[in-house]
Amino acid sequence: MRQALASVSRVLGRLAPGSTSKSDRSGAPPEADHFDSVRRAAAQLIRRDGVERLVPIGVCTLLVLAALVSSMPEVSPASAAVRPSGQQQLIAVAVDVPQAQFGVGDGPLAKDSSDLYLGDGSISNTLQLPGVGTDAKTLLRTYTVQAGDTLNLIAGRYDLATSTLYWANKAALPDPASIRIGQGLLIPPMDGLLVQVGAKDTLDSLATKYKVSAQDIVDANNLPEITLTIGQTLIIPGASGGPMPAPRAGTRAPSSGGWLWPVSGYNYISQYFWSGHHAVDIAASYGTPVVAAVGGTVVRVGWNGYTGGGNVVWVMSGTKLYTTYNHLSSWSVRTGQKVSAGQRLGLVGATGEATGPHLHFEVWLGYPWGLGNVSDAVNPCAYLAGC
């Protein structure tokens, strides 16, 4: 700062007039001093430290100008490249059009790998999901019946309701208990009913008929469009063809282990074993005799409100095998009594959590509910022939 002030002083000194000018010596009148006003202003600034005040103002001015220059848009340098022809320009436009469907930062070239590329929305499902057909037949699997199989056991392997398996194979199964070794069965991908599209069928009419949504049918069958074709096979998710018919008389017989059918004269199973029902329900008239399927020792008799079984009889056969008979209207045995296969235990009723008269029959590989859950319950159809 001192150097700047000294330089200003030297400049002012040069501007200052000499003590005696040529005009003074010649006696001529003095000429006008053009720098007089400048000298006076400079002197005043020096007296008031004006220069020192102007320096920071000038620095700020330079900074503002630099910021304005840096914010101006960058101008691309001139290029000598050949401009694309009209055809090339049309191709570029055609390629850029699909990008309009993506959001900011989205698309197949997105920097963020987590961005979702939805593809061309106009492409049908059959192209986006190659190999997935529009007919439910392409979704079916085939199973070959093995020795010891029952319809219920096969359904359980595929996490299906027995009724779903039966209605999918109704043409080959006039009797639910008539499956044979080596027979091929169709396995649907989910619980529901296989139907064939008729001349008057539409998605809406099928949805109304089976009380499901049209969208559920589309999703279950991977349909690329809502137009159906006559003869097309669809699976209606959650639908049923109705109750399974009762097996023909004489089709149920004692199993190889000697187990007998626990309800005399009644063979119709109204509900099979599945993940939400660890038993078989055998529908029968109120008061029908209930007999022991296998011999053993009675370990419990009477009311059981904890499991909703109502009046029950529990029989232990061996060290870990138990059978339970639930919803009885009455019982005819006592705790500790030994019973043989076929001996009467009580009568069919609807006690406990039951909507109608039936026998709720369970098989356990451990004391029933001993662990506080159903982990030890097994499928009774593994022990009852023709189940």
Q: Residue 315 is part of a domain; what is its CATH number? A: 2.70.70.10
Q: Which of 3-7, 51-55, 318-322 has the highest mean pLDDT?
A: 318-322
Q: Are residues 210 and 273 in the same domain?
A: no
Written as six digits, the tokens of 192 are 């529901």
Q: Give pTM, 2 decimals.
A: 0.40
How high is the pLDDT of residue 89? Answer: 46
Q: Are residues 369 and 284 in the same domain?
A: yes
* Confidence label for 106 from pLDDT (cuts 50, 70 and 90): very low
Q: Are residues 359 and 294 in the same domain?
A: yes
> What is the pLDDT averaged over residues 232-252?
73
How high is the pLDDT of residue 100? Answer: 43
**DSSP label of 5:** H
pLDDT in tens, 324-378: 999 999 999 999 999 998 999 999 999 999 988 999 999 999 999 888 888 889 9
Q: Are residues 232 and 273 in the same domain?
A: no
Q: Are residues 284 and 352 in the same domain?
A: yes
pLDDT in tens, 304-324: 988 889 999 999 998 789 999
82 vs 147 pLDDT, higher one: 147
Q: Decide if 168 contacts 188 (C-beta within 8 A).
A: yes
pLDDT exceeds cutoff 60 at 253: no
Domain assignment of residue 20, yes or no? no
Domain assignment of residue 360, yes or no? yes
Q: Which of 32-36, 74-78, 313-317 has the highest mean pLDDT?
A: 313-317
Q: Are residues 378 and 285 in the same domain?
A: yes
Domain assignment of residue 64, yes or no? no
Domain assignment of residue 233, yes or no? yes
65 vs 194 pLDDT, higher one: 194
How high is the pLDDT of residue 99? Answer: 45
How high is the pLDDT of residue 331? Answer: 96
Q: Are residues 206 and 299 in the same domain?
A: no
Domain assignment of residue 11, yes or no? no
CB atoms within 10 A of CB 157: 11
Domain assignment of residue 16, yes or no? no
Q: Looking at this protein, which amino acid is placed at residue 246?
A: A
Q: Residue 180 is part of a domain; what is its CATH number? A: 3.10.350.10
How high is the pLDDT of residue 355? Answer: 87
Q: Are residues 214 and 303 in the same domain?
A: no
Say what percent of the chain tops pLDDT 70: 65
pLDDT in tens, 115-159: 443 443 333 333 333 334 478 888 899 999 887 677 877 888 888
- Structural domain of 275: 269-382
Q: Are residues 200 and 282 in the same domain?
A: no
What total number of domains does the chain contain? Answer: 2
Domain assignment of residue 277, yes or no? yes
Q: Are residues 182 and 284 in the same domain?
A: no
Angstrom distances, CA of residue 11 to CA of 4, 17, 133: 11, 12, 96
Q: Which of 214, 237, 260 is the last residue before a domain boundary? A: 237
Q: Which of 195, 213, 237 is the last residue before a domain boundary? A: 237
**262: which residues sit within 8 A by CB, 6+ positions away?**
282, 290, 291, 292, 293, 325, 359, 361, 384
Domain assignment of residue 203, yes or no? yes
Q: Which of 237, 255, 284 is the last residue before a domain boundary? A: 237
Q: Are residues 303 and 214 in the same domain?
A: no
**DSSP label of 259:** P
Q: Decide if 318 contacts 338 (C-beta within 8 A).
A: no
Q: Are residues 232 and 184 in the same domain?
A: yes
How high is the pLDDT of residue 101? Answer: 47
How high is the pLDDT of residue 386? Answer: 59
- The Cα 287–Cα 340 span in angstroms is 21
